[in-house]
Amino acid sequence: MTLLARKGAQGASHKLAPRGRSRSLWPIALIFLAPTLILLFVLRVIPAGEAVMSSFQNSPSRLIAPEWVGLENFAVLFGSADFYQVLGVTGIFIVTIVPFQIAAAVFIALLLNERFPGLGLVRTFVFLPVAAPAAVATVIWGIAFQPRGPINAILEAAGIPSQPFLTSPSQALFSIIILMSWIGIGYWTLFLVAGLQDIPEELYEAATLDGAGWWQCFWSITLPNLRRTLAFVVVANTVSSLIAFVPVAILTRGGPADSTRLIMFDTYNNTFVLGDVHLGSAEVTVLILILITVTAIQFRLLGKEK
Amino acid sequence: MRKHIRYIAVAVAAASMVGFSGCAGEGADGENVSVTLLTADPQENLQPAIDGFEAANPGITVEYEYVPFDQYNNLIEQRVGSGDAGVDVYAADSGAIGSLASKGYLVDLSEFSDEVAAGSLPATLDANTYDGKLWSVPMWTSMQYLYYNKDILDAAGIPYPSSNLDEAITYQELLEAGKQAQAAGATWGVLFDQINRYYQLQALIESAGGGSGATGEDLLTPAINNDGWVSAMNFYSQLFEEGVAPRGVATEQMPVLFSTGEAAFIVSGPWQATTNANEGAIKYGVAANPVFEGGTPAMSTGSWNLGINPATDQMEASKKLVEYLSLTKEGNALSTSVLGISPTNVAAFDDFVAGLDDRDAPHTAGLGELTKVQLSSIAVNRPNSPGFTQMGDVTGRAFDDIRNGQPVQGTLDSAQAELQGLWDRLK
Amino acid sequence: MALSSKMGSTPSRQAFVTIAAWVVGIAFILPLVWMLTGSFRDKGELFASVYPLSWGILVPETLTLENYENLFAGPFGRSVFNSIFVTAVSVIVGLLLSAMAAFALAKIPFRGAGVLFVAIVLSFLVPFDAIAVPLANIFREWGLANTYAGLILPGVANGLAVFALRQFFLGVPDELAEAARMDGLSWWGIFWRIYLPLSRPALIGAGFILFLFQWSAYLWPLLIATKSSVMLGPIALSTLATQQSVDFGAIFAGAVFLTLVPLILLLVFQKHFTASLASTGSKG
């Protein structure tokens, strides 16, 4: 189902011309927005506010009312060498996984936009890992990566020495990235396929008549018209990668040698395993700041409109 | 018309939410009182004990809630820590008592001290004590043995290890035997049940003279990089370095590896016999815990105990429940009847031991006597440090790193520093 | 002449496309096939067969339904129903609310649309797991513990779904709506009669966002719904990993079930993603 955009899909989006004074549109807009806004406020904003506030407090036990300690929790965080390790690992992780997943998702979306026998089946195959329970998928990949597991079995049959994968500080993070990509790429591919199908045929017709080949069309028509979808996919992918921790929690617990100690895992570990709620809140606050910064940069780079 | 659709849609949405608010609380009317028991075991494991309690205490009903083990501590933190009166009695793990008590999550149960001292296994009184007071009552305990696969040992010409405590095999000899077994075709030489957890490895470390890792009067001074720890961990590292035990294989797989005949030895608890029996694939025997060369014998022990949430509004009934499940022979025995785990009540324990030899006859011959001897002489409790959770986490990750080939001294040193930092926050 | 929008313009390129697509497809589905066959295996065989390389990795030597029996002996059956119910309600209600909000942000000109959009984006930058605990306490105070409502509510307001739909709505030309406006259609009418019908792929995408949030939720149901009457699928599944042993076979069987529902949905909604080469006009 493609849509014809008469103005060209690049379309700046004009809001519909207001009828009457623009003030009179507020109540209507509010009715549309109210349920979501109220729910988001109660279910996200308020608890988030509590979490941020709790990062400025401390108490020896949950049952004892916390007192304000200012930036003490942050001082503890930034005073420990472990936290810089966490930030470093998270940085490497993000600059690797996001471009990798986006490039792979775009490539696969392009493939899925073609016609070939079994298209529907392949599409289902690609998306299905998203639907499998993450903990089970993690366990399966954990077994796959074992020193005496299927992947090494294949490698050895091909004459390649067996790899340590999750047991080596130099390979563990990348193994986690593969695992998480397997789980997530189908998700982004879905949106990119929809985005590809929204691009009007006429643009390609004109270019084909001009003699442009596929590669040229890709850079001059496809990518620019995917911009809105890409903006969404890149931001959402970054956010979801930064807040994922199940594979680390189950398989490596941050190791070996802290090489997979991602910030969300460390936060989860501090809050839920070690029970240090306030330190965990401080870490979450730092994480949220990182998320906001990265998202803002991405919006700026990727979109003319926000 | 369109307005109506909108209103209907909203009304349906609202109704679908309101209509499904269930009832969360139990009623406590004058006649019937309800106590909520929360543990990390599925309900069927404790059902006989619950039935027994309700029969002996008409007027009290037990509501049961089960939390998956790996989230259990977390959930206790959330619910007991937020003063949730919906939890009355809950299971408290050995080693966690100090932490729970110091946070105010347990009711002082010192009134039961004499009963515990008189009627429960000796090590259990200490296990439930912190700061001079009794905070929980024992329910179950555990012990460890050295299981060996007879076929593999026969094929490799290795003599069976002894179940006589005085002739216990040393860890070093065990390593050599494991290698021999592998040379004769076994996949793995030596396994541990919970191969990367403090509970399991504490015995190895204590046997090497490393102590529990928690020192100081407040048990908040870490000592996890002393000579004993280093020696123990050198041995541990060797196991994997030389391929005698596997890297990268999850803890949960260990029992199955042994029960399907892939390993010559495993240090594990009585539950291993159940796993072996279910698989029915191997001929095996049970021997005494290994001892560190030149060190003192040690064996991991301890399991779940019962504590009362201070926020409970059913104090009397809760106390009755814990007393029944822990300090009466009938209740304590019933609580272990499904799982086959060891009770802590002395009378129930004697029955338990008597039945051990038949657990998986003929392989488990002699298990009863071995259990009694080990439990009374070489059991080491997990320390009730207020920072035990932190220690379990930090050492667990250190064990993983060492297992994966990281240098022992360096890993222990940075674990020591990390734990010190965490424990300083608790002081 | 083949359009340059497609790679497969020559037979050899078409072959490349087909092969590449199938390699990708198989790479994605292989672990799940392993999970499926694992659910029919004997417990011991599951791990014994992973190494070294042989057909035994994928093809089970023993076939048994024991794992499924063990699976349904527990609370899992009821939990699947709970999961389906909770997710269905969340998706239906959530889609409506998200589409409404996205429409307002994209098409109704009012001051503050930009600010509100930023606010909504900020809302999904806060990791849900980070606020789950304070939120659980609030819900407990309101008596929503162990209720369906408590499980459904957090899944109904989803900033990501609003974001996705809003991006889509921005791309819909305004002339359609302006014409309708001239004809006297109200804002709700424009939304309901014009924009919604046009946005089926986006709605399906947003629907999947909402669906997956609820279907795979773990920490939230754990905090708020541990009674077996309201327990959800993933929690019931994790109860199969007890302290004494982990029943991998039953866990895989459960995972097969939990993947089946989205699979069926995917197959049902396949046709809405079909590229129609013939379509060049706007959907009327």
pLDDT given for residue C278 in this prediction: 27
Read off the pLDDT band of B150 (50, 70, 90). very high
User: Pick from A62, A64, A256: which is nearest to B401 by CB?
Assistant: A256
pLDDT given for residue B232 in this prediction: 97
pLDDT given for residue C74 in this prediction: 79
Contact B73 A275 (CB under 8 A): yes
Secondary structure in 3-state letters for B203-272: HHHHHCCCCCCEECCCCCEECCCCHHHHHHHHHHHHHHHCCCCCCCCCHHHHHHHHHCCCEEEEEECCHH
pLDDT given for residue A195 in this prediction: 85
pLDDT given for residue C172 in this prediction: 82
pLDDT given for residue C70 in this prediction: 84
∠ CA A150-C46-C21, nearest 5°, is 45
**Comparison of pLDDT for A1 and A38, the residue scoring more:** A38
Q: Which residues of A touch C8 (CB under 8 A)?
A: 114-116
Write out residues 115-134 of C within 8 Å (CB-CB) of A.
116-134
Q: How far apart are the first and last CA of chain C?
A: 28
Contact A166 B77 (CB under 8 A): no
Q: How many CA atoms lie within 13 A of B303 on its CB side?
A: 24
pLDDT given for residue B2 in this prediction: 44
User: Pick from C186, C239, C245: which is nearest to B66 by CB?
Assistant: C239
Position B199, amino acid: Y
3-state SS, residue C62: coil
pLDDT given for residue A89 in this prediction: 96
DSSP at B66: E
pLDDT given for residue C241 in this prediction: 79
Read off the pLDDT band of B20 (50, 70, 90). very low
- Residue contacts between A and C (CB atoms, under 8 Å): 348
Within a 10 A sphere around the Cβ of B275, how many other Cβ atoms?
A: 20
Mean pLDDT of A111-128: 90
Within a 10 A sphere around the Cβ of B140, how many other Cβ atoms?
A: 23
∠ CA C229-B27-B32, nearest 5°, is 115
Find the closest chain A residue to B311 by CA distance: A63
**Comparison of pLDDT for C253 and B70, the residue scoring more:** C253
What are the structure tokens assigned to C150, written together? 């408590």
Mean pLDDT of C258-283: 62
Measured in angstroms, the CA of A256 and the nearest CA of chain C are apart by: 23
Q: What tens digit of pLDDT does each residue of B386-395 get?
A: 999 999 999 9
CATH 3.40.190.10-classified regions of chain B = 33-141+302-362, 145-301+381-424
Query: How much is the ipTM here?
Result: 0.83
Percent of chain B with pLDDT over 90: 77
Is C12 in CB contact (< 8 Å) with chain A? no
Q: Which residues of C touch B75 (CB under 8 A)?
A: 222-223, 226
Find the closest chain B residue to A145 by CA distance: B248
pLDDT given for residue C235 in this prediction: 86
For chain A, what is the total number of helices (H) and then of strands (E)? 15, 2
Read off the pLDDT band of B23 (50, 70, 90). very low
Are C147 and A64 a contacting pair, CB within 8 Å?
Answer: no
Measured in angstroms, the CA of B384 and the nearest CA of chain C are apart by: 21
Write out residues 49-68 of A within 8 Å (CB-CB) of C.
50-51, 54
**Which of B5-19, B173-187, C210-224 shows the lowest per-residue confidence on average (mean pLDDT)?**
B5-19
**Which of A140-154, C79-93, C181-195 shows the lowest per-residue confidence on average (mean pLDDT)?**
C181-195
DSSP at A43: I
**Which of A287-291, B41-45, B105-109, C125-129 shows the lowest per-residue confidence on average (mean pLDDT)?**
C125-129
Measured in angstroms, the CA of B192 and the nearest CA of chain C are apart by: 14
Hey, which residues does B268 pair with through a beta bridge?
B145
B partners (3+ CB pairs within 8 A) are A, C
Q: What tens digit of pLDDT does each residue of C47-66 get?
A: 777 777 777 778 887 788 88
CATH number, residue A248: 1.10.3720.10
Strands (E), chain A: 57-58, 67-68
| CATH class (in words) of the domain with range B33-141+302-362 | alpha beta
pLDDT given for residue B265 in this prediction: 97
Q: Is there a domain that residue A93 lies in?
A: yes
Contact A201 C52 (CB under 8 A): no
Is B1 in CB contact (< 8 Å) with chain C? no
State residue C249 phi and psi, 5-degree precision.
-60, -45
∠ CA C235-C237-C242, nearest 5°, is 95
pLDDT given for residue A108 in this prediction: 95
Percent of chain C with pLDDT over 70: 94
Is C264 in CB contact (< 8 Å) with chain A? no
pLDDT above 70 (res B22): no
In the block, residue with structure tokens 């207020």: B386
A partners (3+ CB pairs within 8 A) are B, C
pLDDT given for residue B27 in this prediction: 41
Residue B391 CB-density burial (10 A; 0-12 exposed, 13-18 middle, 19+ buried): buried
pLDDT above 90 (res A14): no
Measured in angstroms, the CA of C203 and the nearest CA of chain A are apart by: 11
Contact B248 A145 (CB under 8 A): yes
Q: What tens digit of pLDDT does each residue of C243-252 get?
A: 777 888 888 9
Q: What tens digit of pLDDT does each residue of B84-101 get?
A: 888 999 999 999 999 999
Read off the pLDDT band of C1 (50, 70, 90). low
Distance of alpha carbon A96 from alpha carbon A104, whole angstroms: 12
**Which of A34-43, B7-16, B362-371, C1-10 shows the lowest per-residue confidence on average (mean pLDDT)?**
B7-16
**Comparison of pLDDT for A191 and B374, the residue scoring more:** B374
Q: What tens digit of pLDDT does each residue of C223-238 get?
A: 888 777 888 988 888 8
pLDDT given for residue C176 in this prediction: 79
Are A45 and C135 a contacting pair, CB within 8 Å?
Answer: no
CATH number of the domain located at residue range(s) B145-301+381-424 in this protein = 3.40.190.10
pLDDT given for residue B29 in this prediction: 46
pLDDT above 90 (res C180): no
Mean pLDDT of C104-124: 85
Measured in angstroms, the CA of A31 and the nearest CA of chain C are apart by: 9
State how far the alpha carbon of A91 is from the alpha carbons of A211, A267, A298, in Å.
Answer: 43, 16, 15
User: Pick from A80, A253, A279: which is nearest to B400 by CB?
Assistant: A253
**Comparison of pLDDT for A20 and B217, the residue scoring more:** B217
Read off the pLDDT band of B234 (50, 70, 90). very high
What are the structure tokens assigned to B77, written together? 């933190």
Measured in angstroms, the CA of B249 and the nearest CA of chain A are apart by: 6
pLDDT given for residue C87 in this prediction: 95
Read off the pLDDT band of C216 (50, 70, 90). confident
pLDDT given for residue B30 in this prediction: 52
C171 backbone φψ class: left, alpha, beta (φ>0; ψ -120 to 50): alpha
Measured in angstroms, the CA of A244 and the nearest CA of chain B are apart by: 17
Distance of alpha carbon C231 from alpha carbon C238, whole angstroms: 11
Contact B389 A148 (CB under 8 A): no
**Comparison of pLDDT for B178 and C202, the residue scoring more:** B178
pLDDT given for residue C273 in this prediction: 56
3-state SS, residue B386: coil
> What residues have CB less than 8 Å from B211, skipping those under 6 apart?
B205, B223, B226, B228
Q: Is there a domain that residue A8 lies in?
A: no
Q: Which residues of B touch A273 (CB under 8 A)?
A: 73-74, 389, 393
pLDDT given for residue C13 in this prediction: 86
* Average pLDDT taken over every residue of chain B: 90
Contact A252 B82 (CB under 8 A): no
pLDDT given for residue C127 in this prediction: 82
Mean pLDDT of A194-215: 85
Residue A172 domain boundaries: 81-302
- Residue to mutate among A165, A274, A281, A283, with most B CBs inside 10 A, is A274
Domain count, chain A: 1
3-state SS, residue C221: helix
How, if at all, do strands B145-149 and B263-268 pair? antiparallel
Q: What is the DSSP string of B83-141?
A: T-TT--EEEEETT-HHHHHHTT-S---GGGHHHHHHHB-HHHHHHTEETTEE--EE-EE
Mean pLDDT of A153-166: 91
Q: What tens digit of pLDDT does each residue of B270-321 get?
A: 989 988 998 888 999 999 999 999 999 999 999 999 999 999 999 999 999 9
Q: Which residues of B touch A169 (CB under 8 A)?
A: 404, 406
Measured in angstroms, the CA of A291 and the nearest CA of chain B are apart by: 26
DSSP at B170: B
Which CATH architecture fits C76-231?
Answer: Orthogonal Bundle (1.10)
Distance of alpha carbon C22 from alpha carbon A212, whole angstroms: 28
* Average pLDDT taken over every residue of chain C: 83
pLDDT above 80 (res B140): yes
pLDDT given for residue A21 in this prediction: 46
| Nearest partner of A238 among A182, A296, A157, judged by Cα | A296
Find the closest chain B residue to C92 by CA distance: B13
pLDDT given for residue B16 in this prediction: 42
Within a 10 A sphere around the Cβ of B373, how many other Cβ atoms?
A: 15
User: Pick from A76, A145, A257: which is nearest to B406 by CB?
Assistant: A257
Within a 10 A sphere around the Cβ of A272, how many other Cβ atoms?
A: 22
Which of B317-321, C36-40, C142-146, C237-241 is modeled with the greatest confidence?
A: B317-321
**Comparison of pLDDT for C205 and A179, the residue scoring more:** A179
